[in-house]
């Protein structure tokens, strides 16, 4: 029986935190616990502290297994429970390993599999694998559900717990089980960990045009520097327009995304945040110096997986009128998290939501997302086509065809015969869909180009609009 994987509906909220980092961190300061408790609430606090102390004393002195009733385990368990009581997916306890992971995530280098993880309902979901990494090389795909890690169910596993298991020393292996819509059985992978180097940007000149294209994969510590280099490279080619691609960008660091926005704006707000009482906690404005002249038209590509810092970038571009947004509604994470260290000696900490951020025009669309100026849906397959793809996979028709005709020209010559063969086996697939499947199989283990104009409907529409604008303004 075909595995049933839940579809993403329009109003379904996807709660996820990327392996790379999805927090928008506000110039992280790390205060110690106990610095600030509201005086007017102290009396009520004392009541509950006393209740907690009473329970702690009973467990500490009378619990049957004294080795389990140790102070650190009890206190950290209590802290973890307190944070979970807030029912906020972006608020969590960080043990020593998870805290170290979080601190290294923004450096752009770590040991692991190379996947961006999210959480849909109760399941770990692959946002997408990083090109050229172990996960990419074995064939892990966007949308795959990781149902087990080392034979342990991930149904109620937090992102941090999953990261802690998936990461490890380069050269060691980890076993994962994947559920995929186009497969009728779970897929088991044994993947060797490697040092993951994340290149946060990529660029190229769109073929047969003077339109520059830049993909920003995440806003890590190196992104502003990387983006500046990509812009400088494109400027030597005399670009007349620019496309910034933020699709599948899970976010990153607040100060970094503000630096990148400042490359394109000369004045006005970029973003600001408000805390629990409505007070402004952070505000960033553009400076006069820019890298891309205001005369260069821009389009920013977004989709449902553009989140957090990506939405700051997109919101600033949209509100200022500097660029059009094209694609699909963004994820809708407009909250700000900070990190607070619990014990410097043990290296424990917690992250918690402290504010919401706002676009220059005062929009905070948490759990709503930004609507693009021009909505263009990504290419999807109908349930019927998905069923046909399942037949193709099961019969290894695509793999065998590509094996026989590894070169695109040879495959094209035999495509009609291939379609007849499939029809004889009761497999009905549109020719353009079949071409896409063949191309994907042929390129499965190759490093992808910076862009794919042939099959990327959103990018193709952006190029069409910029070319039309260039003609009209003459």
Tell me the pLDDT tens digit for each residue of 256-290: 999 999 999 999 999 999 999 899 999 999 999 99
3-state class percentages of the chain: helix first, strand second, coil last, to nearest 5: 35, 25, 45
Whether residue 331 contacts residue 118, with contact meaning beta carbons closer than 8 Å, is answered with no
333 is catalytic: yes
* 181: pLDDT strictly greater than 60: yes
SS3 state at 236 = coil
pLDDT of residue 234: 96
* 6: pLDDT strictly greater than 70: no
Query: What tens digit of pLDDT does each residue of 51-63 get?
Result: 999 999 999 999 9
Q: What is the mean pLDDT of residues 122-131?
A: 79
pLDDT of residue 447: 58
364 is catalytic: no
Q: What is the mean pLDDT of residues 71-87?
A: 93
Q: How far apart are CA 53 and CA 207, in angstroms?
A: 68
Query: What tens digit of pLDDT does each residue of 413-441 get?
Result: 888 898 889 999 888 888 888 888 888 77
Q: How far apart are CA 141 and CA 135, in angstroms?
A: 8
Class of domain 99-197: mainly beta
pLDDT of residue 444: 66
Question: 71-84 and 42-62 helices cross at what angle (nearest 10)?
Answer: 140
* 254: pLDDT strictly greater than 80: yes
pLDDT of residue 121: 64
* 75: pLDDT strictly greater than 80: yes
pLDDT of residue 36: 55
Q: How far apart are CA 116 and CA 138, in angstroms?
A: 15
pLDDT of residue 405: 86
* 33: pLDDT strictly greater than 60: no
Structure tokens that stand for 102 in this block:
């979080």
> What own/partner pairs with CB < 8 Å and gap ≥ 24 does 86-89 have?
86/352, 88/352, 88/353, 89/15, 89/16, 89/17, 89/119
* 20: pLDDT strictly greater than 50: no
The H-or-E segment that residue 107 falls in is none
Indicate the pairing of strand 201-205 with strand 323-327: unpaired
Whether residue 338 contacts residue 29, with contact meaning beta carbons closer than 8 Å, is answered with yes
Query: Does the global pTM surpass 0.75?
Result: no
How sure is the predictor about 105, in pLDDT bands with cuts at 50, 70 and 90?
Answer: low
User: Between these two residues, 417 and 447, which has the higher pLDDT value?
Assistant: 417
Q: How far apart are CA 360 and CA 283, in angstroms?
A: 10
User: Between these two residues, 129 and 271, which has the higher pLDDT value?
Assistant: 271
pLDDT of residue 205: 95
Class of domain 201-375: alpha beta
Q: What is the mean pLDDT of residues 36-46?
A: 72
Structure tokens that stand for 241 in this block:
């327009």
**Rg from Cα positions in the chain:** 25
- Name the active-site residue from 226, 310, 333, 335: 333
Whether residue 248 contacts residue 329, with contact meaning beta carbons closer than 8 Å, is answered with no
> What own/partner pairs with CB < 8 Å and gap ≥ 24 does 78-85 have?
78/52, 79/342, 79/350, 83/350, 83/352
Taking the C-alpha atoms of 432, 436, 437 and 443 in order, what is their torsion angle to the nearest 10 degrees?
160
Taking the C-alpha atoms of 356, 360, 363 and 369 in order, what is their torsion angle to the nearest 10 degrees?
-80
Q: Which of 451, 131, 119 is nearest to 307 (CA)?
A: 119
User: Between these two residues, 212 and 386, which has the higher pLDDT value?
Assistant: 212
Among 24-33, 125-134, 348-357, 424-433, the range scoring the smallest mean pLDDT is 24-33
Q: What is the mean pLDDT of residues 322-345?
A: 91
Instruction: Say how far residue 155 (Cα) sits from the centre of its chain.
Output: 20
pLDDT of residue 184: 78
Question: 415-424 and 397-404 helices cross at what angle (nearest 10)?
Answer: 150
Top-confidence range, 98-107, 337-346, 442-451: 337-346
How sure is the predictor about 321, in pLDDT bands with cuts at 50, 70 and 90?
Answer: very high
Instruction: Say how far residue 253 (Cα) sits from the centre of its chain.
Output: 13
Structural domain boundaries in the chain: 39-88, 99-197, 201-375, 383-442
Among 132-136, 188-192, 359-363, 383-387, the range scoring the smallest mean pLDDT is 383-387
pLDDT of residue 60: 94
Token pair 């014990």 in the structure block, residue: 343
Give CA separation, 223 vs 107, 199, 254, 255, 309, in Å: 10, 8, 12, 11, 12
- Name the active-site residue from 308, 310, 320, 335: 308
Q: Which residues are registered as beta bridge partners of 178?
A: 146, 187
- E strands, 104-180, where? 109-112, 115-120, 123-129, 145-149, 152-153, 173-179
* 28: pLDDT strictly greater than 60: no
- Name the active-site residue from 18, 319, 320, 335: 319
Taking the C-alpha atoms of 56, 62, 65 and 70 in order, what is their torsion angle to the nearest 10 degrees?
30
Taking the C-alpha atoms of 330, 331, 334 and 335 in order, what is their torsion angle to the nearest 10 degrees?
-160
Structure tokens that stand for 361 in this block:
């025009």
Q: What is the mean pLDDT of residues 96-114?
A: 73
Structure tokens that stand for 142 in this block:
């966007």
356 is catalytic: no
pLDDT of residue 314: 98
């Amino acid at each position: 029986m075909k595995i049933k994987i839940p579809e993403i509906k329009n109003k379904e909220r996807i709660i996820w935190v990327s392996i790379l980092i999805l927090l928008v961190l506000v110039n992280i300061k790390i205060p110690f616990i106990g610095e600030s408790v509201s005086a007017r609430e102290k009396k009520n606090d004392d009541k509950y502290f006393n209740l907690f102390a009473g329970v702690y004393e009973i467990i500490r002195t009378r619990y049957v297994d004294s080795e389990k009733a140790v102070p650190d385990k009890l206190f950290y368990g209590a802290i973890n429970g307190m944070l979970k009581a807030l029912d906020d997916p972006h608020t969590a306890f960080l043990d020593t390993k998870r805290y170290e992971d979080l601190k290294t995530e923004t450096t752009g280098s770590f040991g692991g599999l190379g996947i961006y993880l999210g959480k849909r309902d109760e399941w770990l979901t692959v946002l997408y694998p990083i090109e050229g990494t172990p996960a990419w090389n074995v064939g892990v795909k966007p949308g795959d559900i990781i149902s087990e890690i080392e034979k342990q169910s991930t149904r109620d596993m937090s992102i941090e717990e999953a990261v802690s298991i998936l990461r490890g020393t380069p050269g060691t292996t980890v076993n994962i089980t994947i559920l995929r819509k186009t497969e009728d059985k779970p897929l088991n992978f044994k993947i060797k960990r490697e040092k993951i180097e994340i290149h946060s940007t990529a660029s190229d000149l769109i073929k047969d045009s003077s339109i520059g294209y830049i993909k920003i994969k995440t806003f890590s510590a190196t992104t502003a520097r990387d983006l500046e280099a990509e812009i400088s490279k494109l400027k030597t080619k005399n670009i007349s327009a620019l496309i910034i691609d933020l699709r599948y960008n899970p976010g990153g660091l607040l100060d970094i995304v503000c630096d990148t926005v400042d490359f394109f704006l000369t004045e006005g707000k970029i973003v600001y945040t408000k805390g629990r009482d409505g007070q402004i906690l952070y505000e960033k404005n553009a400076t006069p110096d820019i890298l891309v002249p205001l005369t260069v038209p821009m389009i920013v590509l977004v989709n449902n997986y553009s989140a957090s810092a990506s939405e700051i970038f997109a919101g600033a571009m949209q509100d200022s009128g500097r660029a059009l947004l094209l694609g699909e509604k963004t994820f809708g994470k407009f909250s700000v998290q900070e990190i607070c260290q619990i014990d410097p000696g043990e290296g424990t900490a917690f992250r918690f939501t402290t504010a919401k951020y706002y676009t220059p025009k005062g929009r905070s669309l948490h759990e709503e997302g930004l609507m693009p100026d021009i909505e263009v849906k990504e290419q999807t397959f109908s349930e019927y086509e998905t069923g046909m793809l399942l037949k193709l996979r099961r019969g290894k028709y695509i793999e065998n065809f590509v094996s026989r005709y590894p070169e695109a020209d040879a495959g094209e010559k035999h495509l009609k015969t291939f379609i007849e063969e499939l029809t004889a086996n009761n497999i009905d697939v549109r020719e353009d869909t079949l071409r896409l499947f063949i191309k994907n199989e042929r390129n499965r283990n190759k490093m992808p180009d910076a862009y794919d104009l042939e099959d990327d409907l959103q990018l193709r529409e952006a190029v069409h609009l910029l070319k039309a604008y260039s003609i009209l303004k003459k």
